[in-house]
Amino acid sequence: MRSDIVKVGHNRAPHRSLLRATGLKDEDFSKPFIGVANSFIEIIPGHFFLNKVADIIKDEIRANGCVPFEFNTIGVDDGIAMGHDGMLFSLPSREIIANSVETVMEAHKLDAMIAIPNCDKIVPGMIMGALRVNVPTLFVSGGPMAKGYSKDGTPIDLATVFEGVGKFEAGEITAEELTDMECNACPSGGSCSGMFTANSMNTLMEAMGIALTGNGTILALTKEREELYRKSARRVCQIALMAQEESSKFNIRNILNENAIKNAFAVDMAMGGSSNTVLHMLAIAKEAGVDFNLEDINSISKRVSHIAKISPSLTTVHMQDIDRAGGVSAVMHEMNKRGDILIDNLTITGETLKERIANSEIKDIDIIHTIDNPYSEVGGLAILYGNLAEQGAVIKTAGIIGDRVFRGTAVCFNSQDEAIKGIVNGKVKAGDVVVIRYEGPKGGPGMQEMLAPTSLIMGMGLGDKVALITDGRFSGATRGASIGHVSPEAAEGGVIGLLEDGDEIFIDVDNYILRVEISDEEIAKRRDRFKPIIKPLKSRWLRQYRALVTNASSGAILEAE
């Protein structure tokens, strides 16, 4: 066993002595050591109960002949961090999480790992860390939140509240109606109930084969979810107790390979996942040693139909509805009718993906459409290119309100805060393209999510009348013609930093175009006099992050060389 490094032989007597101090007995030293990577934190609705989840999992691990060692990572709630400088720390937290998983697993030479993430950057951070360690690893998330209901019975969620702020600003709803949304949109623990970033990533873990069936859709805090925790713990023990040659087949890099990455993007397209998945899957691909680039995404989008529309794209449908309609396996089974996924890939259960989804069927075609009746013939995400995004930009096509071709006039803001003030004060009109820059990985730093300005735009009735482009990113709850991840970003001299109020911007989603209608000569003139804005930073961590981070087209990974 890998853990023999710290527990076998007379020269490991000091190590065993320390382990005995934690409660280990003689009989435990012959058992596999299982890392239980928990992201319990009390301020995040999807995580405040994960300490109890870990207890369930550890009990199951002990009952199945292994020794659990729980350790924790940090977490940031993007919704609570939204709209102020706390969001600067959200994306950087992904790197801390990855580093912490790698650190604990390598320092103590644990044999296998079960990871308990749920929200925001925590899922990709744990996956990135696990890929570095490369032992058998199974993921089981805390589970999605139930949808809420307003007093009149309308299904609502967190996106409803953010957009409600815009409606209140526009005088369309009362303070009492906004309070009703606030009090009822998030009725229980779990990751926010739509196809936002957390549930997108939890869904994609099923597609990649590193989690069990139901991981993305079975509601948190239910008996069904508890059984998923127990099954996951039993499975990781089964693998850890195998002979070394057999168990190594389930090392995470053998499962999360090139085909798994492609399957993740294909399912993402079919279900209209968060645009943040592009950022995270690019980073995961690099950790997995898979040569997958931003431009590869459009080739997948062109062949995969969008068959499941979920909030925020369709505000009445939430994760519990997808679960009732057959779950992620039903989506993949339907996709396979046209060969849109790679079904021979191994999963953590020992089945191929083909075997896993063989008996899955759509149970409600109004929730999960058939391949013959898609919402769109192309996938729910697209990568745009042009002189304004030479290295690419990302749009969640599933969330577009209005036309897929847009020509408008730039209204430029040098921060999210400036943009929010400008939108509230009426600076943005129908026909405008809102430009929010210096919010990229380096410029922010930390690539803030733009849910506040996009929600204001939607709430003020401008969702189908304006577009927004940014070198920052969006919450999974964002909808509208919102284009993010513009690369190169303003802080590194990208053309987005050269834009001026009044410039004409052209967007053609179906032809993957994002450009400003000015000449190359004019761009060169502006570049000659361009000086990027460098925001002063008090945070030592953010200064370190800014010095090492790459732009969004590379997944905003850290590079020391």
Exposure string over 292-327, b if 16+ CB within 10 A, otherwise e? bebebbbebbeebbbbbbbbbbbbebbbbbbbebbb
Q: How far apart are CA 127 and CA 285, in angstroms?
A: 10
Residue 207 and residue 267 in contact, taking contact as beta carbons nearer than 8 Å: yes
Structure token pair of residue 41: 């934190």
Q: How far apart are CA 261 and CA 277, in angstroms?
A: 11
Q: How far apart are CA 68 and CA 237, in angstroms?
A: 10
Structure token pair of residue 337: 């009718």
Q: How far apart are CA 324 and CA 322, in angstroms?
A: 5
Residue 457 and residue 434 in contact, taking contact as beta carbons nearer than 8 Å: yes
Q: Which residues pair with 138 in a beta bridge?
A: 114
Q: How far apart are CA 270 and CA 157, in angstroms?
A: 22
| Reduced 3-state DSSP string for 125-192 | HHHHHHHHHCCEEEECCCCECCCEECCCCCEECHHHHHHHHHHHHCCCCCHHHHHHHHHHCCCCCCEC
Residue with tokens 């990577």: 37
* DSSP SS3 for 137: strand
Please state whether the peptide bond connecting residue 117 to the residue before it is cis, i.e. omega within 30 degrees of 0: no
Residue 402 and residue 481 in contact, taking contact as beta carbons nearer than 8 Å: yes
- Of these residues, 39, 141, 232, 475, which one is catalytic? 475
Structure token pair of residue 486: 């513009």
Structure token pair of residue 108: 């103590």
Q: How far apart are CA 95 and CA 506, in angstroms?
A: 35
| Residue 417: how many other CB atoms lie within 10 Å | 17
Q: How far apart are CA 412 and CA 342, in angstroms?
A: 43
Alpha carbon separation from 322 to 158, 232, 358, 368, 436 (Å, rounded)? 18, 21, 18, 7, 34
Residue 16 and residue 82 in contact, taking contact as beta carbons nearer than 8 Å: no
Structure token pair of residue 473: 């990113």
Residue 161 and residue 185 in contact, taking contact as beta carbons nearer than 8 Å: yes
Amino acid at 358: A
- Phi and psi angles of residue 426, each rounded to the nearest 5 degrees, phi first: 85, 15
| Residue 171: how many other CB atoms lie within 10 Å | 8
Residue 292 and residue 285 in contact, taking contact as beta carbons nearer than 8 Å: yes
Active site annotation includes 188: no
Element (H, E) at 36: strand 33-38
- Phi and psi angles of residue 532, each rounded to the nearest 5 degrees, phi first: -65, 150
Using N-to-C axis directions, what is the helix angle for 197-208 and 122-133, rounded to 10°?
Answer: 30
> Which of the residues are catalytic?
475
